[in-house]
Amino acid sequence: MSAAVTTSHLRENPFELAREQLRRVGTTFEIDPNLIAVLGECKKAIEVSIPVSMDDGSTSVFKGYRVTHNIARGPSKGGIRYHPDVTVDEVKALAMWMTWKCALMGIPFGGAKGGVVCDPKKMSRGELERMTRRFTSEIINEIGPEKDIPAPDVGTDGSTMAWIFDTFSMNKGHSVLGVVTGKPLTIGGSLGRVEATSRGSLFCIRDAVAKLDKRIAGMKVVVQGFGNVGSYLAQFLHQEGATVTAISDSTTALHNPKGIDIPAAFAYKAENRTLAGLKDAETITNEELVLLDCDILAPCALEQVITEENADQVKAAIICEGANGPVTPAADAVLEDKGVLILPDVLANAGGVVVSYFEWVQGLQEYFWKEVEVNAKLNDIVSRAFDETWETAQSRKLPMRVAAYGLAVKRVAEATVTRGIYP
Ligand code: NAD
């Protein structure tokens, strides 16, 4: 039995959920309601239509979005998602979370996100390239190294970033390395960027497990989503001696209580582009996967996976949010009562934007760093943010999410007050 996804993953409006989180933080940290009202809106949201000549001679028109939530702390930064269920409110929520993530990490960016409503799995490489180049042209006045810097997200990768970089550069008449991050190494990418999000998650898990006086080795781990974030996180935890008992992608979920051979799964996915058919594991559903008995559950696919409907059945002791928004606020409340330790998205998956920041800096300087240097600097930034969040959570008796969002929102609020509201 395979668990093909046919309906949208968005059961609730994600932007409303993101605002609900913001309101909770505003009350808890006693932030001026006027500022919360400012931060509850996106600075700019544009919608474009993207006509594309398809391989069969027909023309398809796709809808694309680019949203900037906030630029108080620097140019806006955020990925571009290609997925059939993209909505403008999903992009707005993701943009808001990017603002908090960059502020929590202390990097000089605001938040943005982009998306195109399409199914990249059903498109040829040529169709994807033409769609990406036309989308870039439609948003060319919005993006740029000092303005707004896209990166990969669900359904996009280094090739997508290469096309955006090339289209932007062709229009400017010279190479503009800082316009996107997540570029391939041959054209100004950073060493360590591909694995950066998962490496950041690993650093958070290490820090959390150390605080609990436990060890990763021997822990049972479940990872949902086997794309950029999930596959490398599964590999890193496997290398640390954890037993990864279940993994999944959009087509299948696999379970083996004795442990899945992660290097074999990685090779299988690279060759077949799906986990379906991988041997030595029982096929389950993605719904069953998140409820498995384990020490660490890492949702690394899409939003709203753990909701008020299934939160009370979650058995994990730690949830590491590799994905953005996988736990809804209603589920948060249930998990808080159960004593589950949640490593929230803005902390747990921030490694990607931190190394994106390094890539942007390296591109501006045209001077590139060694991988050990990238990874060490990433560790410094993520572990500092973890410690600040842990300390705030402990001293104020708050869940890690509220502590992380609180620290971040306060920093953005302070920047907004310092700059003043224009005019
Ligand atoms: P990706 O496209 O590389 O991988 C997504 C994976 O999720 C794929 O394996 C896909 O098959 C699987 N998937 C999709 N729908 C699913 C479902 N309903 N059930 C189970 N699996 C499903 O995307 P990614 O870059 O790994 O991003 C995953 C998540 O991590 C997203 O929430 C994204 O916003 C977040 N994130 C990504 C980065 C990054 O640097 N790529 C950084 C921070 C956060």
Percent of the chain residues past pLDDT 70, beyond the cut: 99
pLDDT, tens digit, 9 for 90 and up, residues 367-392: 999 999 999 999 999 999 999 999 99
**DSSP summary character for residue 144:** B
pTM of the model: 0.97
Closest Cα to atom 30, ligand 1: which residue? 323
pLDDT, tens digit, 9 for 90 and up, residues 123-171: 999 999 999 999 999 999 999 999 999 999 999 999 999 999 999 999 9
Per DSSP, helices labelled H in 29-153 are: 33-39, 88-105, 125-138
Instruction: Place 66 in a pLDDT band, splitting at 50, 70 and 90.
Output: very high
pLDDT, tens digit, 9 for 90 and up, residues 282-299: 999 999 999 999 999 999
Q: How far apart are CA 150 and CA 162, in angstroms?
A: 11
Instruction: Place 88 in a pLDDT band, splitting at 50, 70 and 90.
Output: very high
121 is catalytic: no
| Ligand 1, CB cutoff 6 Å, lining residues | 5, 9, 152-155, 197, 224-230, 248-250, 286, 300-302, 322-324, 349, 352
Instruction: Provide the pLDDT for residue 2.
Output: 37
pLDDT, tens digit, 9 for 90 and up, residues 258-288: 999 999 999 999 999 999 999 999 999 999 9
Per the CB < 8 A criterion, the answer to whether 224 and 230 are in contact is yes
Per the CB < 8 A criterion, the answer to whether 413 and 106 are in contact is no
Closest Cα to atom 13, ligand 1: which residue? 250
Q: Give me the domains of the chain, ranges plus CATH numbers.
A: 42-185 (3.40.50.10860), 196-348 (3.40.50.720)
Residue 300 sits at φ, ψ, to 5 deg, of -125, 35
Per the CB < 8 A criterion, the answer to whether 18 and 97 are in contact is yes
CA R_g for the chain: 20
pLDDT, tens digit, 9 for 90 and up, residues 339-371: 999 999 999 999 999 999 999 999 999 999 999
pLDDT, tens digit, 9 for 90 and up, residues 396-411: 999 999 999 999 999 9
Distances, alpha carbon 317 to alpha carbons 136, 158, 295, 320, 368, in Å: 43, 34, 5, 10, 40
Asked if residue 6 has pLDDT above 60, the reply is no
> What's the gap in Å between 222 CA and the centre of ligand 1?
15
> What's the gap in Å between 113 CA and the centre of ligand 1?
15
Per DSSP, helices labelled H in 106-225 are: 125-138, 158-172, 193-211
Instruction: Provide the pLDDT for residue 313.
Output: 98
> What's the gap in Å between 145 CA and the centre of ligand 1?
25
Per the CB < 8 A criterion, the answer to whether 33 and 329 are in contact is no
pLDDT, tens digit, 9 for 90 and up, residues 206-253: 999 999 999 999 999 999 999 999 999 999 999 999 999 999 999 999
Q: Exposed e or buried b for every residue in 340-378, given b needs 16+ CB within 10 A?
A: bbbbbbbbbbbbbbbbbbbbbebbeeeebbeeeebbebb
Instruction: Provide the pLDDT for residue 7.
Output: 81
